[in-house]
Amino acid sequence: MRTRDPKSWMWAEALAMLQDAERLQRQFFQVGPAQGARWEPPVDLFENGDELWILVALPGVPEGHLEVAIENANLLIQGDRPLPRACAGATIHRLEIPYGRFERRIGLPRGRYRILQRLMDHGCLVIGLRRIGE
């Protein structure tokens, strides 16, 4: 009778536990509506004289699902990335793209600002701000 190598046995047990955990996650946790923000999109911020340009990576987010506002010294971006209809009720095998409500609060450099421009370009929200005073 041959004994099993302890390293092989440990790896086999670890893999079995991971598979069980993934199965349980798929079984009990499904993408659904959320009360608060579930994720934050990445941003880039550029300053050029009296203008600030903010790029927010939001592929798959319809422009009608976005809210942009200046609150105190922050730019607030809120919205929702819906799960595509074709995926509703489907079994999830991998979910790396965040869906649901999001919120990003970006601290602005000193000054008061107004929104110059807001547009979607290749999956990025581009926001232009102009400084209107200190």
Structural domain boundaries enclosing 47: 32-86+99-133
User: Whole-angstrom Cα distance, residue 119 to residue 63?
Assistant: 8
User: Whole-angstrom Cα distance, residue 34 to residue 99?
Assistant: 10
pTM equals: 0.70
Q: Which two tokens stand for residue 44?
A: 């880039």
Is residue 128 included in any domain, yes or no? Answer: yes
How many CB atoms lie under 10 A from the CB of residue 70?
A: 15
Is residue 21 included in any domain, yes or no? Answer: no
Q: What integer pLDDT is reported at residue 1 of this predicted model?
A: 46
Is residue 69 included in any domain, yes or no? Answer: yes
Is residue 14 included in any domain, yes or no? Answer: no
**Count of domains forming the chain:** 1
pLDDT mean for each 10 residues of the chain (134 residues): 71 83 62 71 96 96 94 95 88 88 95 95 97 84
What is each CA distance from 35 to 53, 58, 71, 103, 104, in whole angstroms? 30, 20, 21, 12, 16
Is residue 25 included in any domain, yes or no? Answer: no
Domain at 47, CATH number: 2.60.40.790
Q: What integer pLDDT is reported at residue 77 of this predicted model?
A: 97
Contact 41, 56 (CB under 8 A): yes
Is residue 5 included in any domain, yes or no? Answer: no
How many CB atoms lie under 10 A from the CB of residue 53?
A: 15
Q: What integer pLDDT is reported at residue 29 of this predicted model?
A: 55
User: Whole-angstrom Cα distance, residue 82 to residue 99?
Assistant: 6
Is residue 40 included in any domain, yes or no? Answer: yes
Is residue 9 included in any domain, yes or no? Answer: no
Q: What integer pLDDT is reported at residue 73 of this predicted model?
A: 93
